[in-house]
């Protein structure tokens, strides 16, 4: 779904200066552009699958200076990880502080907007709310260069690679298609487990920012440090309530497909037939095949 609001002079969410705000993508534009480029048909909103969309979620959020500040790091991520991962099949990456900054900028956008909803509607408890408000302030100061680190907040990347097996109840949810053909992000407060985090999916590159981590969680070969490091799309292991969001994406995708009208199903069928001679060139074809083999 695309959110459009009338532009006006108001405070930038990041620097708080009064200025004309830019219409900012919440999930970076390069990911949405690549999803469109590799899709057979038009993009559809998971909340309203009978309507097509042209772009991802956008808000009047940042002034031009802060928008440019984020753009520099988005380009580094796109050039050094996102496109090499998808187009060149690279699975090992070196990075420095730019990656930590990039993840902070993405999760901060989700957290800032989600906090507006949490505060207005009172959907989470006071302890979780205080943790998230404090984390937003810490990350905002870091993004503005007012501090050099983000305390105990952790960033992680998990690459959703091919899976060999899955529980019987999830086989029908098409995990490869659901995760690799979707883009989303939001903040979760699991108050039972005391794990508060922001989750972003960019076609199977999953970003997790942990503001508070509950007990008995395992994160292996996923953490991004604030400095020079490396990350590989192999031997990664996560035992955490955070991984419930992968199941949630699959369930939402299944529900969305069931909401398609007969007319829209026919349109999709026609597009597939039209592309049939070249369908094996589309990434979704490989994902369909992998899901059938589970």
**Number of neighbours of residue 241 by Cβ within 10 angstroms:** 16
**Of 1-10, 208-217, 251-260, minimum mean pLDDT range:** 1-10
Helix (H, G, I), strand (E, B) or coil at 149: coil
Higher pLDDT, 201 or 284: 201
Q: Give the helix/strand (H/E) hosting 291.
A: helix 283-293
pLDDT (mean) for 57-69? 94
What count of Cα atoms within 13 Å lies in the side-chain half-sphere of residue 46?
17
Model pTM?
0.90
Residue 177's pLDDT band (cuts 50, 70, 90) = confident
- Per domain, the residue ranges of the chain are 9-293
pLDDT (mean) for 261-278? 67
Average pLDDT taken over every residue of the chain: 88
Q: How high is the pLDDT of residue 4? A: 47
pLDDT (mean) for 168-185? 85
Q: How high is the pLDDT of residue 260? A: 65
């Amino acid at each position: 779904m695309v959110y459009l609001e009338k532009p006006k002079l108001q405070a930038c969410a990041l620097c708080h200066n009064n200025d004309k705000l830019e219409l900012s993508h919440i999930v970076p534009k390069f990911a949405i552009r690549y999803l469109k480029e590799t899709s057979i048909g038009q993009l559809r909103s998971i909340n309203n699958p009978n309507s097509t969309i042209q772009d991802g979620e956008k808000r009047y959020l940042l002034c031009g200076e802060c928008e440019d500040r984020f753009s520099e790091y988005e380009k580094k991520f796109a050039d050094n990880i996102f496109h090499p991962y998808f187009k060149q099949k690279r699975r090992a990456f070196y990075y420095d502080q730019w990656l930590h900054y990039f993840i902070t900028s993405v999760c901060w956008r989700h957290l800032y907007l989600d906090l507006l909803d949490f505060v207005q509607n009172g959907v989470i408890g006071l302890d979780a709310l205080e943790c998230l408000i404090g984390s937003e302030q810490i990350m905002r100061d870091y993004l503005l260069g007012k501090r050099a680190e983000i305390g105990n907040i952790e960033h992680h990347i998990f690459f959703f690679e091919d899976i060999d097996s899955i529980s019987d109840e999830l086989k029908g949810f098409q995990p490869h298609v659901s995760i690799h053909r979707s883009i989303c992000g939001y903040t979760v407060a699991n108050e039972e487990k005391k794990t508060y985090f922001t989750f972003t999916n960019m076609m199977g590159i999953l970003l997790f920012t942990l503001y508070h981590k509950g007990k008995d969680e395992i994160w292996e070969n996923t953490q991004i440090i604030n400095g020079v490091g490396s990350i590989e799309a192999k031997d990664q292991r996560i035992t955490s309530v955070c991984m419930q969001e992968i199941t949630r994406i699959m369930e939402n995708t299944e529900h969305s497909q069931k909401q398609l009208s007969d007319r829209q199903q026919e349109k999709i069928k026609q597009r597939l037939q039209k592309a049939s001679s070249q369908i094996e060139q589309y990434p979704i074809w490989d994902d369909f095949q992998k899901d059938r083999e589970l």
